[in-house]
Amino acid sequence: MQTDSGANQTGLGARGDGPREISFLDPESGVQMVKMGELTFPPRKVWIKTFGCQMNYHDSERLLSHLKDLNFTQTQEVDDADMVLFNTCAVRDLSNNKFYSKLGNMKHAKARNKDLVVGIGGCVAQVEGKELVKKYKHLDFAFGTDVIDQINDMVYRTYAGDSKFTINSWDRNENFSIETKITQDSPQAFVNIIKGCNKYCSYCIVPYTRGKERSRKCAEVVTDIKRLVEYSGIQEVTLLGQNVNSYGHDNGENLAQLLLELEKIDGLQMVRYTTSHPYDVSDELVAVHGEAKKLSKHLHLPVQSGSNSVLKRMLREYTVEHYLGLVEKLRKAQPEIVISTDIIAGFLNETQSEHQATLDLLDQAQFDFIYSYVYSERAKTRAAALEDLLPKDIKGERLREIQAYQLAIQAKLRAPLVGKSFRVLVEGTSNMKGIKKWKGRTNCNRIVHFLPPAEDRDFQWHWVDVEVLSATALSCQGQLLKDWGTRLP
């Protein structure tokens, strides 16, 4: 069987005219082999470490799907790996530091196993790939965010002896066309609908690591998701983009239209989308939140700060008043909607009153949960060009204050969940003080844990109804009411 992944596509799905993977059974050993060009690939293992956002996890799944065609299977044990890949994130200090430490450790792994191949992809590789390949002798290759689908060509090159290269070119095609690839045995899939970002928020590196916005055609996304539902058992999709709300602006389509098209797909139970930019949430999209039955009743809408002067320094293009107006419209259109957000604590020279404005916003907006971070400067961004006089310890204090303030709001918001029942899709188990509990996500993205009626019953990917017995700011404990199995009637 010849595998031809994306030969007729453009954008991320594009590959050149090079050799393709041909899978065959070795007549002597009976082992599945893959021939590509001059090389034969025996079964090998890849260990992949992903940092950062859902887009990176989605890209890693894409990498694994391609590597399967080259006879690689994923291993969770780095010591078993023939190849190690890092999919990197340039957005936060923490991920960055973890990545550099793990990359440094690979030096010892390579000393133990000289055949080990080490590659890095993602946002750090896009901007620093060349320097890193030069600096780290044990690093074989680096590749950027727009060449994911060329991974097998790069691995081929490495095994052919051409190591120490970087590919971080931008895809210049007008069209962005791909087919979603999934490797996990799950009914949930991420579907990339737009890549890049045109916003240039002053603190953000993404426009430099992911390039300009380009959207897939609505018809292509619908066909792609229909195929996933029909042939891969997918029941829940999360539409992905750095700014998913500007989907279609480049080709005359929009997210609201796409969501209404997805409503028509039989067998698709749930649609989520992330990440949103408040400036691009249209009235049409707000209305769809009231109408669409498959659309999740949770929206993650990053506000970043409750101060207009900070928002201006961040180049966010909206005011607090605009944001709160949006929240009000969304709640009017869909009274059950749950809204979460991102907050950056201690942004560039933030004053105490600007910080207080963020605490005030938490009161006004009543978010269901927040992701909050201390501002960390990213090289090459506009904010990095300005001197930041705010001491690190004050930034940390402000973050802790924001988090404690929000936790009190969350506890209050979640207390009334007790006694209510929810349908959840069970995603796995967690060990809670030595007790195994199953956990699932409600339509509005809250996790509920429940005890199985019998220890050995398997609820993985079942739809179940649960009643919430207790709720804190961070978790809900429930009891099983009904098990619908893996398909809803």
Task: Kindly list the residues in this chain that would bind ligand SF4 in the complex (CB under 6 A).
Answer: 197, 199-201, 204, 206-207, 242-243, 277
How far apart CA 125 and CA 151 sit, in angstroms, is 14
**Residue 88 C-beta: closest distance to ligand SF4, Å:** 16
Helix (H) or strand (E) holding 103, with range, is helix 93-112
Q: Any residues with CB less than 8 A from the CB of 429 and at least 6 apart, and which?
A: 436, 437, 438, 439
**Residue 268 C-beta: closest distance to ligand SF4, Å:** 27
Contact criterion met (CB below 8 Å) for 144 and 126: yes
**Residue 49 C-beta: closest distance to ligand SF4, Å:** 22
3-class DSSP assignment, residue 141: strand
Nearest to 182 by CA among 64, 52, 8: 64
Contact criterion met (CB below 8 Å) for 202 and 315: yes
Contact criterion met (CB below 8 Å) for 192 and 58: yes
CA angle 16, 20, 21 (to 5 degrees): 145
Q: Which is nearer to ligand SF4, 12 or 48 (CB)?
A: 12
Q: What are the counts of helices (DSSP H) followed by strands (DSSP E) for the chain? A: 12, 23
Structure tokens at 134: 């030069």
Q: Which is nearer to ligand SF4, 133 or 201 (CB)?
A: 201
Region class of 211: left (phi > 0), else alpha (psi between -120 and 50), else beta: left
**Residue 197 C-beta: closest distance to ligand SF4, Å:** 3
**Residue 213 C-beta: closest distance to ligand SF4, Å:** 9
**Residue 123 C-beta: closest distance to ligand SF4, Å:** 11
Q: Which is nearer to ligand SF4, 21 or 280 (CB)?
A: 280
Structure tokens at 392: 């690190």
Q: Which is nearer to ligand SF4, 119 or 306 (CB)?
A: 306
How far apart CA 237 and CA 230 sit, in angstroms, is 13
Q: Which is nearer to ligand SF4, 207 or 346 (CB)?
A: 207
**Residue 241 C-beta: closest distance to ligand SF4, Å:** 9
How far apart CA 407 and CA 338 sit, in angstroms, is 16
Question: What are the φ/ψ torsions at residue 177 (nearest 5 degrees)?
Answer: -135, 125
Helix (H) or strand (E) holding 436, with range, is strand 435-442
Q: Which is nearer to ligand SF4, 153 or 280 (CB)?
A: 280
**Residue 382 C-beta: closest distance to ligand SF4, Å:** 10
Structure tokens at 386: 């300005």
Q: Is the dihedral of CA 114, 115, 116, 118 positive or negative?
A: positive
Contact criterion met (CB below 8 Å) for 294 and 261: no
Question: What are the φ/ψ torsions at residue 54 (nearest 5 degrees)?
Answer: -60, -30
**Residue 316 C-beta: closest distance to ligand SF4, Å:** 7
Q: Which amino acid is at 201?
A: C
**Residue 111 C-beta: closest distance to ligand SF4, Å:** 39
